[in-house]
Structure 1
Amino acid sequence: MATPKFKKSRANTRMRRSQWKADNVALQEVTINGQKVRIPRRLVRAAKEGLIDVEQF
């Protein structure tokens, strides 16, 4: 694991952290009970089995 060799200033640390951005979740179009919905890919199986409510998407 990489270890820092020199102390970073607080300003540099916070600037680095502020550049991180989360990506939007990719949605997949699926037909469930005759209704087309766009849900995250990892929830498709649960939605088809009726474990989650697709109305919230």
Structure 2
Amino acid sequence: MGVPKRRRSKQRGRARRAHLKLTVPGLVRCPQCHELTMPHRVCPGCGYYKGKEVVKS
């Protein structure tokens, strides 16, 4: 069974996890109702996407 020969330093472990962080989602304003929404998704406020109503609100 594989067993570590030496203890890994804190710096090595933190360097490995440096890119594993949460990012804030990019939000855009809906052109219809000006509510913040995720890009390329139907607006939850008014139900519009690309100038057309796709979900009845």
TM-score, length basis structure 2: 0.42
Higher-Rg structure is 2
TM-score, length basis structure 1: 0.42
Q: Which has the higher helix share?
A: 1
